[in-house]
Structure 1
Amino acid sequence: MILNVSTAHFIVSVFTIIAVGISAAAFFHPPEAILESMAEVDVKESWLPVLGILKAAGALGLLIGIGVPVPSIGTAAAVGLVVYFVGAAIVHLHAGDYSISGQHVYLLLAVATLVLSLMTQ
């Protein structure tokens, strides 16, 4: 079975919404692992709610984008998430963290969502 671009866009968007939404929620009540990871890359704990809001806004934008007939909303949200996760990757690289971790998975999901969004317009 071959998926068309519109169906692939919907499926990838839903996965991205779920993944980023869960990640955003975790920033409001961070487990020790997130606190340790942020400390290792010199991100202050006080930034976590702001970062969580940015992630949540991106996930909400994607949800709105697939729920209303204005695809540019979802595309804008995907662009925002790509920028956010590129920034996260840069922060980790700057701190000497060269491991493949969560932010890379989220970045790949955001890029895939953006590319598919652009292909459906």
Structure 2
Amino acid sequence: MFIGYVVVAALLAFASAASAVLTITRNPQVMGSMTKVGVPESWLPRLATAKAAGALGLLAGLAIPLLGQAAAMGLALYFIGAVIFHLRVKDFAVAPVVVLVLLAAAAFVLRTASQ
């Protein structure tokens, strides 16, 4: 189970860190999506920080199981919130975010099972 966690955590950490960088640099595609779902621009630094912290927590979770679980759960909740924001404005292009929710849930389950 631990090797499964390593693989899933690495993928999710990379995706979250990349998303954090794109958010903080205000990538036009990210800004378009955030504007479309009604996220205020003032939230962007906090959202990027949450994604970066989740990525770091997943990697730290390799050594500290509880931190890995907390990071995976935090990212799952973050991305569930993103799905809700998309659905709230009837934007049904949520497949990438749903994949991230599932990866975060898998990371949580795998880290819990590998203790």
Alpha-carbon distance in structure 2 between the residues aligned to 1:17 and 1:42? 25
Match of 2:20 in 1: 24
Q: Are residue 34 (structure 1) and residue 23 (structure 2) matched?
A: no
Alpha-carbon distance in structure 2 between the residues aligned to 1:49 and 1:103? 19
TM-score, normalisation: structure 2: 0.93
Q: Are residue 6 (structure 1) and residue 2 (structure 2) matched?
A: yes
Match of 2:77 among 64, 83, 94: 83
Q: Are residue 54 (structure 1) and residue 35 (structure 2) matched?
A: no
1:94 maps to a residue whose letter is: R
CA RMSD of aligned residues (A): 1.1
Q: Are residue 71 (structure 1) and residue 65 (structure 2) matched?
A: yes
The alignment covers a number of residue pairs equal to 115
Identify unmatched segments of 5+ residues in structure 1. Answer: none
SS of 2:93's partner is: coil
After superposing on structure 2, the runs of 4+ consecutive aligned residues of structure 1 that deviate more than 4 Å are none
C-alpha deviations, 1:65-117, integer Å up to 9, x for none? 11x2x201100111101111111111111111112343222212111111111
Percentage of pairs with the same residue: 41
